[in-house]
Structure 1
């Protein structure tokens, strides 16, 4: 009998829980192909510490703070910390020794090949630092002199080894830090008292490095809103299946603000989308901004560092205020009440040219600090923009970062060749050598599963049984003259696909503008539903303007909460449908059929398919969306569960929880509901449960898997208690359980070693490619299930954490590949299995509800009130 999943209170092995998977039997099925990956072989020949027989790396914590800081608040800017630290190194050789022996992460961690010594050393009998060392020093940052204190505390050491060791968690961090330091510093052998200087050609953010400025081959991409896109590299040290180190490098891209840009020019670019002429600037003397323009400026400036022209201060922007320099008055301690315009005239002898432009508020929020726009520029420091960007800019980023594999790998090679990362004095001093050629390995291409629609000449696999009416809503200004033709074409193709539509024309037509309120829409919906006959379900078709995000979220939330299926269509697509655009209409029919409970894709057979269909098997997908830093949003978890052996129909549930919570609080209840929905639909309890978990970073795998495996055990126990007549001590509910993590947040990319001739081949590996050797460990693998049409395909990463079913690699890989074919909105395989794909869509839909709630209720928000009708929970209403 299979091991029972442990509860959250007994998740450890000592208390009866099953052991974690240590090895997954490798797969063997599939056609063998040769693949090139974005990995380089890394050889480590550990150097010996002087006067010692071992190769040790010593670790120190470094604290740098201004001498005037009463609370010892450290310097926060990494470039400033870097400058201060390396200045201290150059001026105190007796403490640090050879610079090439040091690796510093621009934060608190310092690694050294040799021990550090106090300032005053007894040359006959030197003793290294044992407790801590602290002294003050001077340094220059951005041509300004500063003073600082530095405190160094030894924290331990580790052995630098040529292969991975289980207990040495510090070595990968050290190697990653060393690789980026090779670009943060540049060798300058002619400098006095130093071997290195700070490198201004590369901007480093954690493990990513970006060229600033680029050469002609990698010029910045203009994005608008005074933002540019820069390309660079992300560097990671990983280990192969034998514990040997590998250097994983991928293209990275990030959005940066332009530097030294006058805020008046910034205003012209953001608000007017053009540069201002001299005549425009003269007219601007008497004009300010309206509320809409001020809001656009605030959105573009918020969080950016600004520099004052009159004092060279750097301040972070909060936003624009309604007051301008001519009307805002404050109390000056020497001159009394005066306006901002009068203040700059009296104190700085500067006459403001644009006194009607709004004032800019900067940090800290209290006391209030305001500056005129014309006296500010965007900082001359390189600034990465981390906030959410407008849709048009995100689309341009996607276009500019989509490189096919040949170009993708060539760009990596070009950046490595034009950097000092692979050949420099620091890496050589620690015994690092890099192979100059990308790693080549063998993969397997799984056979495509046999699908039902391959044998269906027309129609869908299973058209929805629901009989429905169309209800048409035109949102805001989305109405157009040919809208009747659009509806007719949609009705016609639904009939052709054998969907059970009641009438050839919509039952009602609502034109709704958001200058009205949601209550008005609800009232119109109620009057519309009175016209719908019994036995017919209303299906709402909503035509919206292409960029109308707020309208989409408000109406979608209202319809979902009232239990209505809806499909939104952009106005541009609706116009194309009137012209009989078949691709758009077929895509819409697939979505409508899925939402109504129909079946679009069905697997007939694949390798070991019967293993999962002959006995009741429940597939659960769990995904989370967590709020970004400084984003006033809760976290969301979405759970989907299959309800039959087609694995194409799913029940769903979600939970909104505090972003500070590390673990999902109600996961056991959501899984219990998925088990219950499965059992009610097929009249049998599941014998096997496979949980697919997405939305995790690699540092969370172990802890989250342990807690959630316990939550799954709690759900099984509660299900058994819910049906006491069905189960007993001699007949317990005891399913086998498999817990599998699926992720696409990784840096691994593949390219065909030799690209076949023909227009269809772009260098991407074919759909169904599996790699479970060399770069994969003992219990994980990569599966590229989708067809890479644009850019370089990103395979999904699978890692098995728990398994009481004893699945093999062939079982699991073929089954996951088949699940990737079962997303209803597409006839092509997608990149992740259907349960996770739907769980991600559900999370995004819940974020829509939250945005609507925040707009409608400016006061305290009640997220517990966000829910949908129970009638929708067994339908893919969010697909």
Structure 2
């Protein structure tokens, strides 16, 4: 491999002209052992040349008081407009030449209506009711489908997004128009095929499939994968109340989970309502319809006399589905949840665990499931697919791949460790950290019952503490005596308990502030955990390490394990704790053994470099008051192991980072201080969490900000202009690499180091899929890397090997990880910062802010900005 030569960068010219460097267009890399893998892509042949685009608007028609008709724009959803368009197509005999996107566009391979705008009325029957709609259509323009293949063949630089959308819609059209199919974005679920994998709490796991059309170097391909999503169980509301209880807490929980979920009365299933709330203080026997039949009548009496149905549970709370115009109350035992509705919000811990079990498929099982999906869909028999000139291969693609060589790691002892080809290694006897941290003062705070953790046997706290101290000593962490132990008495808040422990440690260790606090927590102690991190991260600026008592074997034996297995499990747990503690103390667990003259970037070179990881964490809540949080981490040492961190709170959903230039400049200054007044000679950026539609905007903003920060770091003359390599990291995709025979890891997945940069990658830019980790359960997901800028002129082999080898430097485990550590650390820092977004729910705060729960952000303490406390 050749030694990379950085390109000369004219900073001033680029800044003045606003010029961005062109994306590198490298040939496929060659390094590594060649293999073949299967990929869940199916080749698509398309003969269509053109389609017609019609703009479409669907509105509902109501009869007014004077007997006329009034068109109302209700912004109808796709589930209501699709039947209308299907009915219109039948009325006007469009055949199978059209497809509908569910919003405002119809595409057809033939003319299906006049070029000028038309308005057609359509009536839809739903049970005993009929609804009237008006459909407006107008020809917009033809769509040149052939332009997509010019892009694939390299004769055009920009992807014609509308063409890809047309063909994608055509392949999904039949299933999306099928009333028996529940479609969510690119995922499809059929209720008839669900086996009812209960998640508990009124939720079920549904198995379906995902499909999306991809333009690749090897041609147009359909990406098909499994999909597993949590749906609200289609049951009676009374079943949920009888399962979890009907007290006030349960009613609040149900209201939160089911708000706006669609329900029907079992007496009138054609009339759909939205669940509004449920009240503990409003059972059916005490809730009245005012002046029904000229007198007040309870809901219980109404259903018994008018509907002829006696209530079995009259004391259960009533379901309120009222609108602004009409009160609607239905007994819980007569209210059924409609099927096919996704669970909103987060699943709880038990549901998440069950969800993972339901979705897990080993590579061979996943392959068979996907192939079965293709057989059921039967694209060859789909007249719409045929009308758009497409044929989909029934064979999963088998493509070229390579397995990159693994690195050797250096510790203080041994200086060179061969970690093998499986991506997993163990701490053998005599291993000590590469650079050891030092504990000047420390405290151990137990938030568990003192009587339980002080068991005199092997599950006691003393036994665990001795094991942890022994591991710390063997790995080289320096300390004088064990920690001060403080037992929380639960009369004080966790914050006050932490502060008391800090005072005890200072008195014991000659007035030295602790530089690590270890906290023992019971299972499911989320609020205590949050309070600990808020106190340590924001208030006192001391790194903390939390331990879960059951996982550590404190207070209870791990059932089903013999003594040897328990001891091995505890040793592994203590080893992992030691790695985290050493990192939080400023130590380095391991580094990559230098390979002189290999040409591998940043490894074995004397030139100073900076690895910059960037991520933006968006809240799961759709509330606009919930902020997004941006995090930047930057390496400070020649081993690329120690990182400084900066975080920024910003508007909900915003991907571009506020004050990016200032944050980068702060990190450059920290690098300057840590490295004897030396500046980075090259910068490598790993940017996480960006969709392909945002590439240009993110690159334009962040590349410019890094350039400007570097110029301002110079002598004011713009002479400091290090070359930048800018790489986007994507994890949320549906590409899976499956073994096609040959070697696999212990879980049956492709080996760590498997890389693909042909056939399924982009025709326009240099990108690659890298499976850098060993599988644990299910099918491994490779990370997708897009190299948008490479001013360092690393080249394809060097970029891939550098990225892969860095995955062995993740500080929390003795495994290579699935995502390059700078991006991983930025994600961890952003998630830790989310714990510091507090909501003041007091009445005073609510009235002062004008709304309940205004978020307040407590930033990290200044003393932690260069400490990896978030790992």
Q: Which string of whole-angstrom CA distances, capped at 9 and with x for unpartnered residues, describes residues 422-467 of structure 1?
A: 4321111221112221111111111111211463732222221343
Out of 1, 18, 36, which is 1:34 matched to?
A: 36
Whether contact under 8 Å (1:478, 1:545) holds in the other structure is: no
Out of 270, 290, 301, which is 2:247 matched to?
A: 290
Shift of 1:608: 2.8
Out of 173, 182, 204, which is 1:203 matched to?
A: 182
Whether contact under 8 Å (2:441, 2:506) holds in the other structure is: no
Distance 1:790 1:605 in 2: 33
- Corresponding residue SS for 1:183: helix
CA, structure 1 residues 6+82, in 2 after alignment: closer, same or farther (shift >3 Å)?
farther
Is residue 553 of structure 1 aligned with residue 512 of structure 2?
no
Q: Which string of whole-angstrom CA distances, capped at 9 and with x for unpartnered residues, describes residues 560-587 of structure 1?
A: 1111221111121232598642111111
Counterparts of 1:79-90 in structure 2, within 5 Å, are: 79-90=79-90
2:726 alignment partner in structure 1:
739
Is residue 458 of structure 1 aligned with residue 464 of structure 2?
no
2:313 alignment partner in structure 1:
354
Distance 1:705 1:553 in 2: 34
Counterparts of 1:289-368 in structure 2, within 5 Å, are: 289-312=246-269, 313-325=271-283, 326-327=285-286, 341=300, 352-362=311-321, 364=323
Is residue 376 of structure 1 aligned with residue 350 of structure 2?
no
Q: So what's the TM-score if we normalise by structure 1? A: 0.85
Counterparts of 1:778-789 in structure 2, within 5 Å, are: 778-789=765-776
- Corresponding residue SS for 1:407: helix
2:560 alignment partner in structure 1:
none
Q: So what's the TM-score if we normalise by structure 2? A: 0.86
Distance 1:56 1:556 in 2: 59
Out of 641, 646, 671, which is 1:648 matched to?
A: 641
CA, structure 1 residues 603+716, in 2 after alignment: closer, same or farther (shift >3 Å)?
same
2:96 alignment partner in structure 1:
100
Is residue 2 of structure 1 aligned with residue 8 of structure 2?
yes
Whether contact under 8 Å (1:651, 1:874) holds in the other structure is: yes
Out of 238, 241, 245, which is 1:264 matched to?
A: 238
Shift of 1:715: 2.4
Gaps of 5+ in 2: 1-6, 64-69, 152-157, 418-429, 558-565
1:622 alignment partner in structure 2:
614
2:599 alignment partner in structure 1:
608
Q: Which string of whole-angstrom CA distances, capped at 9 and with x for unpartnered residues, describes residues 603-633 of structure 1?
A: 1135534655421111110011112352452
- Corresponding residue SS for 1:537: coil
- Corresponding residue SS for 2:343: coil
Distance 1:820 1:857 in 2: 49
2:25 alignment partner in structure 1:
23
Out of 553, 563, 566, which is 1:575 matched to?
A: 553
- Corresponding residue SS for 1:628: coil
1:124 alignment partner in structure 2:
none
Out of 224, 227, 232, which is 2:200 matched to?
A: 224
Whether contact under 8 Å (1:594, 1:876) holds in the other structure is: yes
Whether contact under 8 Å (1:5, 1:709) holds in the other structure is: no
1:489 alignment partner in structure 2:
467
Is residue 584 of structure 1 aligned with residue 573 of structure 2?
yes
Moved more, 55-64 or 779-788: 55-64
Out of 864, 867, 870, which is 1:872 matched to?
A: 864
Q: Which string of whole-angstrom CA distances, capped at 9 and with x for unpartnered residues, describes residues 700-736 of structure 1?
A: 112222122222223224434xxxxxx253x722111
CA, structure 1 residues 839+157, in 2 after alignment: closer, same or farther (shift >3 Å)?
same
CA, structure 1 residues 551+71, in 2 after alignment: closer, same or farther (shift >3 Å)?
farther
Shift of 1:771: 0.9
CA, structure 1 residues 858+828, in 2 after alignment: closer, same or farther (shift >3 Å)?
farther
Distance 1:523 1:154 in 2: 70
Whether contact under 8 Å (2:403, 2:753) holds in the other structure is: yes
Q: CA RMSD in A?
A: 3.0
1:391 alignment partner in structure 2:
349
CA, structure 1 residues 5+472, in 2 after alignment: closer, same or farther (shift >3 Å)?
farther
1:195 alignment partner in structure 2:
none
Shift of 1:762: 4.3
Distance 1:237 1:749 in 2: 15
Shift of 1:142: 5.3
CA, structure 1 residues 387+596, in 2 after alignment: closer, same or farther (shift >3 Å)?
same
Shift of 1:4: 5.3
1:135 alignment partner in structure 2:
120
CA, structure 1 residues 16+66, in 2 after alignment: closer, same or farther (shift >3 Å)?
closer
Counterparts of 1:437-456 in structure 2, within 5 Å, are: 437-453=395-411, 455=416
Whether contact under 8 Å (1:608, 1:814) holds in the other structure is: no
CA, structure 1 residues 255+142, in 2 after alignment: closer, same or farther (shift >3 Å)?
farther
Whether contact under 8 Å (2:438, 2:479) holds in the other structure is: no
2:739 alignment partner in structure 1:
752
CA, structure 1 residues 871+523, in 2 after alignment: closer, same or farther (shift >3 Å)?
closer
Out of 689, 692, 698, which is 2:686 matched to?
A: 692
1:769 alignment partner in structure 2:
754
Gaps of 5+ in 1: 47-54, 118-127, 186-197, 273-288, 721-726
CA, structure 1 residues 761+563, in 2 after alignment: closer, same or farther (shift >3 Å)?
closer
Out of 229, 233, 257, which is 1:254 matched to?
A: 229
- Corresponding residue SS for 2:593: strand
CA, structure 1 residues 140+22, in 2 after alignment: closer, same or farther (shift >3 Å)?
farther
Q: Which string of whole-angstrom CA distances, capped at 9 and with x for unpartnered residues, describes residues 448-504 of structure 1?
A: 112114637322222213433232232578952322322222222212222122223
Counterparts of 1:154-165 in structure 2, within 5 Å, are: 154-161=139-146, 163-165=149-151
Distance 1:366 1:137 in 2: 26
Counterparts of 1:519-534 in structure 2, within 5 Å, are: 520-521=496-497, 523-525=499-501, 527-531=503-507, 532-534=509-511
Shift of 1:45: 1.4
Distance 2:326 2:634 in 1: 53
Out of 544, 548, 555, which is 2:521 matched to?
A: 544
Distance 1:413 1:247 in 2: 13
1:417 alignment partner in structure 2:
375
Shift of 1:518: 5.3
Shift of 1:372: 3.5
Distance 1:855 1:575 in 2: 39
Shift of 1:687: 1.4
1:510 alignment partner in structure 2:
487
Shift of 1:694: 0.3
Is residue 658 of structure 1 aligned with residue 651 of structure 2?
yes
- Corresponding residue SS for 2:869: coil
Shift of 1:643: 0.4
- Corresponding residue SS for 1:219: coil
1:121 alignment partner in structure 2:
none
- Corresponding residue SS for 1:846: helix
Shift of 1:173: 0.7
Moved more, 537-546 or 174-183: 537-546
1:803 alignment partner in structure 2:
790
Out of 464, 474, 480, which is 2:447 matched to?
A: 474
Distance 1:615 1:658 in 2: 38
Shift of 1:164: 4.4
